[in-house]
Amino acid sequence: MALKRKDILGLEEITREEIELILQTALSMKEILSRPIKKVPALRGRSIVTLFYEPSTRTRTSFEIAAKIMSADTSSIAPSTSSVVKGESLKDTILTLRAMRPDVFVIRHQASGAPHFVASLIPESVINAGDGMHEHPTQGLLDMMTILEKKGKLEGLTVAIVGDILHSRVARSNMWGLTKMGAKVRFVGPKTLIPPEANRLPVEVYTNIEEGLKDVDVINVLRIQLERMKKGLFPSLREYTHFFGITKKRLKLAKDDVIVLHPGPMNRGVEIMPDVADCEISMVTTQVTNGVAVRMALLYLLLGGTGDALAS
Amino acid sequence: MRLLLKGGRIVDPSQNLDTIGNLLIKNGKIAGIGQVESGDLKPEQVEDVTSKVVVPGLIDMHVHFREPGFEYKEDITTGSYAAAAGGFTAVACMPNTNPVADTRSVIEFILCRADEVGLVKVYPIGALTKEMKGEEMAEIGDMLEGGAVAFSDDAFPLQNSGLMRRVMDYCAMLNTPVITHCEDLSLSDEGLMNEGITSTILGLKGIPREAEEIMVARNIMLARLTNCKLHIAHVSTRGSVELIRHAKETGINITCETCPQYFSLTEEAVRRYDTNAKINPPLRTADDVAAIKEGLADGTIDVIATDHAPHAIEEKETEFAIAPSGMVGLETAVGLVITELVKPGELSLANAFMKMTAAPARILGLDAGTLEIGKPANITVIDPEAEWIVDPSKFHSRSKNTPLKGKKLVGLPVLTIVDGKIIARNQEVIA
């Protein structure tokens, strides 16, 4: 089986079968990461452009490493040092880059829907590496892969996503992906950080952390930004931590074999306590590794690969 | 010059008239209705309008013609062409030009340019405050003398209630209407679309209905205080309709308008991040659309205007967040009114076209919107059965920003007549 879509823009539109294909392929790809020589020729001669309109370390590096392991060539464009500062529009930037004949565009943009706009302009594949408050599909996939590895399944699990749901593209991608795979999703956070009409989404909403964490299999902690506090969405970091911070004590509300995820970067001592962030049930570094595998899988599948594992 | 419109269904809400017959135009004025015959008219002065509907020339009391300052989007010439093609014989244009229409000289410039173009009647709306900054009252009286027909800061609504009260007091003294775009900017807070489940899924910051409704309520209260003629622009929510209905019941001097987009489209039009569907107020929900139709039917909503808001292609071909708000509307209005309101039986033909003729004329105090004998022969002839597909590339407007591309509509303006002269036929302008 191969992916039939041109672009990966979000997990809302992807089918369960496609998610299964991507995750299975990613598990195969992860084996490559454990080899002493991490190089396969699968994408030799292919060209990938990463275009990040927002600062990013892990996502961009993850895509670049994923591409390089499969022998693709990568070009990294930072708008702050490109023609964008001269006022060039996104459309013109894309059309200019496209003329250099890359095969895939990886785009992060602060505006929701920007990758959709780009995908509508060009026939090449576009991967959404995070768009505004909309989706971050590769993060959603790597989170699912991490849960699948640790729990052996997704079906029937309960996942609490805790924190700033309102502004989180990670929360939205997790919601679509996990519920398609048969998991239950909870949004947990202060009312001011829960999106409007969230009760109409396929999730349960909790504004009480103790209730929200009760008997969950996975806690996915989101980053709290200082900027939100300044905008008056909650009174202080101190108060947020008091009411919603993930502490060892609160972990006890969840199932005994709970795991903790965080998309990073973490605010230690704010949304997650250091002893939780560094304990054995924290999956933070595993998530990063799985991110490379997921991105390898997506590049491979979008560029015509099938789900068969690569030969050693 | 004599022109006979022969055999049409003549619908004039201003006279409660709905009859089949002929309409005679003489020297630019309406000379007769009913059984008037062609007599000694020459054949080329007879237009057979059998099976067509003859109504007073349509008036759009809310357009943006962008001149002076933003002629790359639209100018008075292209805007007039779009109006004529869409069946409008008169428009009132908002003051958010550059420079802002906040002085008599800009008002007179607009009138002068419209006169040079010589197609439809263009009535300028002056700004309430200098540069529409919401700080100091503009020279409203001077602009009124210069030809402004109403006053508004439109998309830059006054947030300061004290200043709003003073401009309404001043306009009440001058007996001129104040038109308000109702938006509490602290609540809309740079939102991009209607707040709700769709904005949540799309990750676009939402604008709650209350951002509109709070200001509708405030302005109603200030209208009660000042007895100013308040006209609320582009009503888009159920709550606004209910507030206005209640205000009218209590005798407050208030009128309002909605636009075809608010009874034809929902927020779902934004689903693919279509920047052409980014408008302000934003497209709302099916429940709001139902409320707008109810408000139109029961008379709460007086006027159908278009809020024709042209933007250049390159401004809309961009990220949703930075695209300007607005869509063009002059050339699709008649089709949407008949398709969405008249054909489904939401409004009678007469009621629908009253809101595009007599009602805006009454609110703006124009000598228009009627087929009374002796009045200027401003007339629109509509084929209510004509089916057509919206093709923005054929628009006369300089801008093509509409989310309606490819939509099938019923109802087409086939003749637009200003002062007895045919200026457009079958959506083509006869310059």
Q: pLDDT-based confidence at A57, cuts 50/70/90?
A: confident
Tell me whether residue B18 is exposed, middle or buried, using C-beta atoms within 10 angstroms of its C-beta: 0 to 12, 13 to 18, 19 or more.
Answer: middle
Tell me the average pLDDT across B327-336: 98
pLDDT of residue B317: 96
A199 shares contact with chain B (CB less than 8 Å): no
Say if strands B46-48 and B29-34 run parallel, antiparallel, or are unpaired.
unpaired
Q: Is residue B307 flagged as an active site residue?
A: yes
Checking if the pLDDT of B192 tops 90, the result is yes
Query: Which of A132, A130, A73, A83 is closest to A103 using CA atoms?
Result: A73
Q: pLDDT-based confidence at A312, cuts 50/70/90?
A: very low
Q: pLDDT-based confidence at B431, cuts 50/70/90?
A: low
> Would you state the structure tokens that stand for residue B197, as one six-digit string?
């489940």
Question: Which of B202, B210, B316, B322 to probe the A interface (max A CBs under 10 A)?
Answer: B202
Q: pLDDT-based confidence at A78, cuts 50/70/90?
A: confident
A147 to A150, A260, A273, B138, B342: CA distances (angstroms):
5, 10, 21, 63, 56
Question: How far is A135 from chain B, CA to nearest CA, in Å?
Answer: 8
Beta bridge partners of A180: none
At residue B154, what is the residue type? D
Residue range B137-152, pLDDT digits in tens: 999 999 999 999 999 9
Closest CB to B320 among A12, A91, A112? A112
A89 shares contact with chain B (CB less than 8 Å): yes
pLDDT of residue A231: 82
The residues of B whose Cβ lies within 8 A of any Cβ of A are 195-197, 199-206, 208, 272-273, 314, 317-322
Question: How far is A12 from chain B, CA to nearest CA, in Å?
Answer: 9
Tell me the average pLDDT across B211-236: 98
pLDDT of residue A310: 56
How many CA atoms are closer than 13 Å to the CA of A272, on its beta-carbon side?
28
pLDDT of residue B43: 64
Closest CB to B203 among A91, A133, A197? A133
Question: How far is A149 from chain B, CA to nearest CA, in Å?
Answer: 28
Residues of A in contact with B196 (CB under 8 A): 196-197
Dihedrals φ, ψ of A302, to 5°?
A: -70, -30
Checking if the pLDDT of A26 tops 90, the result is yes
Q: Do B200 and A91 touch (CB under 8 A)?
A: no
A230 shares contact with chain B (CB less than 8 Å): no
Consecutive H or E run containing B380: strand B379-389
pLDDT of residue B38: 65
Residues of A in contact with B201 (CB under 8 A): 12, 172, 201
pLDDT of residue A311: 46
Q: Model ipTM?
A: 0.92
Q: Do A112 and B203 touch (CB under 8 A)?
A: yes
Out of B302, B307, B383, B419, the active site residue is B307
Residue range B32-58, pLDDT digits in tens: 998 777 666 676 789 999 999 999 999
Checking if the pLDDT of A114 tops 80, the result is yes
Residue range A214-241, pLDDT digits in tens: 999 999 999 998 777 778 899 999 999 9
Q: What spatial distance separates the first Cα and last Cα of chain B, rounded to whole Å?
A: 18
Closest CB to B273 among A91, A113, A172? A113
Residues of A in contact with B199 (CB under 8 A): 196
Q: pLDDT-based confidence at B1, cuts 50/70/90?
A: confident
Tell me the average pLDDT across B179-188: 98
Query: Which of B9, B14, B5 is closest to B375 using CA atoms?
Result: B14
Q: Do A132 and B203 touch (CB under 8 A)?
A: yes
Percent above pLDDT 70 for chain A: 98
Tell me the average pLDDT across B408-423: 98
Question: How far is B322 from chain A, CA to nearest CA, in Å?
Answer: 8
Checking if the pLDDT of B345 tops 60, the result is yes
Sheet of A259-261, strands arranged across: A204-206, A184-188, A158-162, A218-221, A259-261
Query: Which of B323, B417, B319 is closest to B376 using CA atoms?
Result: B417
Q: How far apart are CA A76 and CA A50, in angstroms?
A: 5
Tell me the average pLDDT across A81-108: 90
Query: Which of B135, B138, B134 is closest to B176 using CA atoms?
Result: B138
Tell me the average pLDDT across A30-54: 95
A280 shares contact with chain B (CB less than 8 Å): no
A132 shares contact with chain B (CB less than 8 Å): yes
Q: What spatial distance separates the first Cα and last Cα of chain A, rounded to whole Å?
A: 20
pLDDT of residue A309: 52
Question: Which of B270, B272, B284, B319 to probe the A interface (max A CBs under 10 A)?
Answer: B319
Percent above pLDDT 70 for chain B: 98
- Region of B334 (left: φ > 0; alpha: ψ -120 to 50; beta: rest) is alpha
pLDDT of residue A305: 79
Q: pLDDT-based confidence at A86, cuts 50/70/90?
A: confident
Rounded to two decimals, the pTM is 0.94
Question: How far is A272 from chain B, CA to nearest CA, in Å?
Answer: 25
Q: How far apart are CA A166 and CA A193, in angstroms?
A: 5
pLDDT of residue B79: 98
| DSSP state for residue A309 in the 8-state scheme | P
Q: pLDDT-based confidence at B124, cuts 50/70/90?
A: very high
Q: Do A113 and B199 touch (CB under 8 A)?
A: no
A238 C-beta neighbours (distance < 10 Å), count: 11
Question: How far is A207 from chain B, CA to nearest CA, in Å?
Answer: 18
**Cβ atoms A106, A79 nearer than 8 A:** no
Residue range B256-265, pLDDT digits in tens: 999 999 999 9
Residues of B in contact with A112 (CB under 8 A): 202-204, 273, 320-321
Checking if the pLDDT of A82 tops 90, the result is no
